[in-house]
Amino acid sequence: MTSKKHNFSPSPIPPLRQSLEPVMGCPTFYVESVIKGNKTPGGMESVRGTQIHRVVAEYSAWCATKGVAMDLNAFDRFAKGVGPVAARILEGMRDSYKVQFNNLFATELTMSLDEDLRPTEVSEAMEGTIPDIGKPAAYQGTLDALLFFRDELKSWIDDAKSHPRPFDPAEHLQAKMYALMVFQHFSWVQEVTFRLVFVRFANLSRVVTYTRQDLPTLMEAVKSARERQKMLHADYDAGKKMEVIAGSQCIYCPLLANATCPIAKWNPQMQLTPEQRLNFNLFYSAFSKVNNKAMKEYVDGTGKNITLKDFNGKSYQFGPKESESNIYPLFKATATGVEVDAQNRLVMPVVDLLSDYAYASPEDSAWLGKVQISSTSLTNYLKTKKRAVLDLAVDDVVEKVTKVKLAVSKPLDSLPDDITDEDEEEEEF
């Protein structure tokens, strides 16, 4: 279907946008969705993303106009009418999201660069301040929010993401492309920080910062992505057989939805439905518990390890396995309590060594701010009645860190975070 020479004019190459990065991961997907224009089953992620972007942009613009960091009534007004999933996510961020109204330059700002990375199709918000080269856009992006810190010659880009799993912006084209766009549009900007705000979680964001010295790297990254995009068009126009590469992008591919992916037979995304996989996960973890218990009983009862040999002569064993790990005591334990020095101060062996080092090498002391006590070891001791006051005091200095891992939930009677949006809008990865 994609291997015949086509008797028509070359396929038009749209500007490179960040959302095309995963699509280009599989040339066949790109042909189907971008060149042939077949609708992708973006579904609820797209809708959710689009709705949240709109609310955040409108709310930020409102706060900037009013000169306030928060206006909960306005937030509720803008959030009215969004789908149930977006509503729940917005509800979660409502009380903590603050707008840096003093520094906000624009929201939902579209920026474009031509093939030579010069500003083009300059949008209204920047009209008259930036020369427009007047060429077609080769790169395009819509920044959720652009902030300027003129005294420091810095700029900040905020991008709201509704993804269930946070990721590092440095690993994706978007941060590089948007930072480059800001550098190319505003010659006074020396540093751009790109921040992904993961709106499902309170205070969870990831940032990457680029300086003007990074320009060659940023240019190379976006140009090479553009070259790959052009290559896809050239190959398609020449009637070449397009490659098929499975990956996380498959769930957005029209060929997955209608089961016509050329590698359907081998594509892991097509072997089982997501529900079948979760079902298997539940079965597997139940079976694993029963299985491990039986093996443990055998080893406990017989005192022997269980050994299995494969046909290559390799052996596997189930049995006691010793391992050693290091712990660094905070205080020095004695038979009756903790050791004190001549001045009656608690002896803290590791902390004392670290302090000495910090005094001796102040130029290498920044990392000490990251040394922490694990919460498990401390909370075990703090969560008792007689230490309630200490617990409260410690709670005042605790730093909350949001971590996210994909996990199976406990059995739920209802689905507070159910994903049941049915509308469809522009795709957002």
Q: Two tokens at 246?
A: 């499975």
Interface with ligand SF4 includes 255 (CB under 6 A)? yes
Do 181 and 139 form a contact (C-beta atoms < 8 A)? Answer: yes
Do 40 and 33 form a contact (C-beta atoms < 8 A)? Answer: yes
Interface with ligand SF4 includes 232 (CB under 6 A)? no
According to CB under 6 A, which residues from 301 to 340 bind ligand SF4? none
Q: Two tokens at 241?
A: 């057989």
Chain-centroid distance of CA 398 in Å reads: 25
Residue (263 or 306) nearer to ligand SF4, CB: 263
Min dist. Cβ of residue 26 to ligand SF4 (A): 3
> How far apart are the C-alpha atoms of 261 and 244, rounded to whole Å?
8
Select the span of 108-116, 136-144, 238-246, 413-421 touching ligand SF4 (CB under 6 A): 238-246
Centre a 10 Å sphere on the Cβ of residue 136 and count the other Cβ atoms it contains. 12
Among 79, 109, 182, 246, binds ligand SF4 (CB under 6 A): 246
Number of residues that bind ligand SF4 (CB under 6 A): 14
Give the SS3 label for residue 47: helix
Residue (136 or 239) nearer to ligand SF4, CB: 239
Nearest Cα residue to 175 out of 150, 157, 148: 157
Among 2, 15, 20, 29, binds ligand SF4 (CB under 6 A): 29
Residue (28 or 107) nearer to ligand SF4, CB: 28
Min dist. Cβ of residue 1 to ligand SF4 (A): 11
> How far apart are the C-alpha atoms of 406 and 248, rounded to whole Å?
15
According to CB under 6 A, which residues from 128 to 157 bind ligand SF4? none
Do 243 and 2 form a contact (C-beta atoms < 8 A)? Answer: no
Instruction: Report CA torsion sign: 71, 74, 80, 82.
Output: negative
> How far apart are the C-alpha atoms of 284 and 281, rounded to whole Å?
5
Min dist. Cβ of residue 232 to ligand SF4 (A): 12
Select the span of 39-47, 230-238, 248-256, 291-299 touching ligand SF4 (CB under 6 A): 248-256
H or E element, residue 211? strand 205-211
Do 318 and 306 form a contact (C-beta atoms < 8 A)? Answer: yes
According to CB under 6 A, which residues from 261 to 280 bind ligand SF4? 261, 263, 267
Among 106, 244, 421, 427, binds ligand SF4 (CB under 6 A): 244
Min dist. Cβ of residue 242 to ligand SF4 (A): 9
H or E element, residue 192? strand 191-198
> How far apart are the C-alpha atoms of 338 and 336, rounded to whole Å?
7
Interface with ligand SF4 includes 51 (CB under 6 A)? no
Interface with ligand SF4 includes 256 (CB under 6 A)? yes
Residue (13 or 264) nearer to ligand SF4, CB: 264
Select the span of 50-58, 259-267, 280-288, 306-314 touching ligand SF4 (CB under 6 A): 259-267
Residue (26 or 179) nearer to ligand SF4, CB: 26
Interface with ligand SF4 includes 162 (CB under 6 A)? no
Do 190 and 215 form a contact (C-beta atoms < 8 A)? Answer: no
Min dist. Cβ of residue 22 to ligand SF4 (A): 9
Q: Two tokens at 133?
A: 């080269």
Write the DSSP assignment of 59-85 as a string of letters: HHHHHHHHT-S--HHHHHHHHTT--HH
Residue (138 or 255) nearer to ligand SF4, CB: 255
Interface with ligand SF4 includes 120 (CB under 6 A)? no
Do 120 and 134 form a contact (C-beta atoms < 8 A)? Answer: yes
Among 20, 34, 113, 253, binds ligand SF4 (CB under 6 A): 253
Do 158 and 175 form a contact (C-beta atoms < 8 A)? Answer: no
Interface with ligand SF4 includes 28 (CB under 6 A)? yes
Do 37 and 250 form a contact (C-beta atoms < 8 A)? Answer: no
Residue (35 or 255) nearer to ligand SF4, CB: 255
Residue (60 or 267) nearer to ligand SF4, CB: 267
Give the SS3 label for residue 198: strand
Interface with ligand SF4 includes 79 (CB under 6 A)? no
> How far apart are the C-alpha atoms of 178 and 143, rounded to whole Å?
7
Among 141, 174, 249, 421, binds ligand SF4 (CB under 6 A): 249
Binding site for ligand SF4 (CB under 6 A): 26, 28-29, 244-246, 249-250, 253, 255-256, 261, 263, 267
